[in-house]
Chains A and B, each alone.
Chain A
Amino acid sequence: AQSVTQLGSHVSVSEGALVLLRCNYSSSVPPYLFWYVQYPNQGLQLLLKYTTGATLVKGINGFEAEFKKSETSFHLTKPSAHMSDAAEYFCAVSASGNRDDKIIFGKGTRLHILP
């Protein structure tokens, strides 16, 4: 079975500062990993995903994440925060190679941007 743990339910960073949102996963098979973003009163939007190949994955809005198998991590980063990045971010995992496997979400991290 797969699971994810997101460290920190709330993270605050200053505008222009580095954004780092932490995610650790547990999976009995090679995982597929995802980050989703949810803006207030909106649905979930896929930011980026890792399936196979390059471990550094670039997504939309300047975000990127690195799959580190040895650390079972998939942390999300952005070099310079914008006010518009304020949202809830969800890390998620599914079992690679199993076309019927569902995506399991973490509890989310709310990102606050300080002016």
Chain B
Amino acid sequence: GAGVSQTPSNKVTEKGKYVELRCDPISGHTALYWYRQSLGQGPEFLIYFQGTGAADDSGLPNDRFFAVRPEGSVSTLKIQRTERGDSAVYLCASSFVPGYGYTFGSGTRLTVV
């Protein structure tokens, strides 16, 4: 596609529920990143994929968070047993050359009530 697409744009869920957030990167971009942005903060790195494999998952806060990219394009960020502290905007970005600057999607605003 022309840009990075994230769905849904907004998600409200109840505490304890499971959610999936989807990212469709720019066609041909092998690098894909997930970041989380809390109110008033900069984007915080979660996980980086190069192709199908997670090259760096050091930013995932705990084992409730998991991400996959089975075919090297679309990625899904999965959050189990959501907590109110998980409320944030989840940003996805892709890049052809890692480290040279990413193209970001518009994000998914997750609200846990």
Residues of A that sit less than 8 Å from B by CB: 9, 32, 34, 36, 42-46, 49, 51, 90, 92, 94-96, 98-108
Contacts and interface: CB of A to CB of B under 8 A. Distances in A.
Contacts of A103: 33, 45, 99, 101-102
14 contacts: A36-B104, A43-B105, A43-B107, A44-B104, A99-B99, A100-B48, A100-B98, A102-B45, A102-B48, A102-B99, A103-B45, A103-B102, A105-B44, A108-B42
B43 interface: yes
A98 B99 contact: yes
Closest A-B pairs by Cβ, 3 of them: A105-B42, A44-B104, A43-B106
B39 to A, nearest CB: 11
A45 B45 CA distance: 17
Contacts of B59: 102
B56 interface: yes
Interface residues of B, number: 27
A94 B43 contact: no
Interface in B81-111: 91, 93, 97-107
Interface string B33-51: 1010000111111001010
A98 B99 CA distance: 8
B100 A51 contact: yes
B98 A106 contact: no
A44 B103 CA distance: 8
B63 to A, nearest CB: 20
B113 interface: no
Nearest to A106: B42
B91 A43 contact: yes
Nearest to A32: B99
